[in-house]
């Protein structure tokens, strides 16, 4: 059973979303996602300042086994990316919810449509 923190929101495509107090959200991939991908060897992140739509592909995480697109869970503007991952993608494997965050975004829509941790757990269990 993989870890699904209760204080985060989720998507069906296995991204997690953390709400910050400043209205900026932080986005990463879940423990379940990193486990099924295996060792990550390459990560491509969006450029800071890019406007993204909801469910737009804005990056890629690649393991030895497979490439997996990262979808933006919300529309908004990219405000920061985790530069460390360019040289150390394995951080996402070791710390998917903390040091392995992917990017930050200033959303232009509400977070109401994202999944709760209970709903996401149901998805991963099925």
Partner 1 sequence: MLRKTPLYDQHLNAKLVDFGGWEMPLHYGSQIEEHHQVRQDAGVFDVSHMTIIDLTGKKVRQFLQYLLANDVGRLKTIGKALYSCMLNENGGVIDDLIVYYQTDELFRMVVNSGTRDKDIAWITHYAKEYAVQVQERDDLAMIAIQGPQVTKKIKDLLPATALSLKPFHATWENWFIARTGYTGENGFEIMLPAKEAPELWEKLLANEIKPIGLGARNTLRLEAGMNLYGTDMNENCSPLEAGLNWTVAWKPLDRNFIGRVTLQAQKDSGNHRIMIALVLQNKGMLRDHQAIYTDNGEGYITSGSFSPTLGRSIAFARVPMGKYEQVTVQIRNKTLVAKVVKSPFVKNGNVLI
Q: Tell the smallest beta-carbon distance from residue 121 to partner 1 (Å).
A: 21
Choose between 48 and 67: whose C-beta lies nearer to partner 1.
Answer: 67
Under the binding rule (CB under 8 A), the answer on residue 48 touching partner 1 is no
Under the binding rule (CB under 8 A), the answer on residue 67 touching partner 1 is yes
Give me the sheet containing 67-71, strands edge to edge. Answer: 40-44, 57-63, 67-71
Whether 90 contacts 84, CB under 8 Å: no
Q: Tell the smallest beta-carbon distance from residue 21 to partner 1 (Å).
A: 34
Buried residues in 37-46 as b, exposed as e (16+ CB within 10 A): beebeebebb
Evaluated on CA atoms 102, 85, 97, 60, the torsion sign reads positive
Token readout for 82 is 């985790």
Choose between 51 and 62: whose C-beta lies nearer to partner 1.
Answer: 62
Give the one residue of 2, 20, 38, 116 binding partner 1; rule: CB under 8 A: 38
Question: Which residues make up the interface to partner 1 (CB under 8 A)?
Answer: 38-39, 41-42, 44, 60, 62, 64-65, 67, 86, 90, 93
């Amino acid at each position: 059973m993989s870890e699904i923190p209760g204080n985060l929101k989720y998507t069906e495509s296995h991204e997690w979303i953390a709400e910050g107090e400043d209205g900026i959200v932080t986005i990463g991939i879940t423990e379940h996602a990193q486990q099924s991908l295996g060792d990550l060897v390459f990560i491509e992140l969006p450029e800071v300042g890019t406007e993204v739509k909801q469910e737009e592909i804005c990056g890629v995480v690649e393991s030895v086994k497979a490439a997996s697109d990262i979808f933006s869970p919300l529309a908004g503007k990219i405000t920061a990316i985790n530069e460390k991952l360019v040289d150390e993608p394995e951080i996402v494997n070791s710390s998917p919810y903390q040091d392995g965050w992917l990017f930050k975004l200033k959303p232009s829509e509400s977070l109401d449509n994202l999944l709760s941790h209970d709903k996401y757990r149901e998805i991963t269990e099925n």
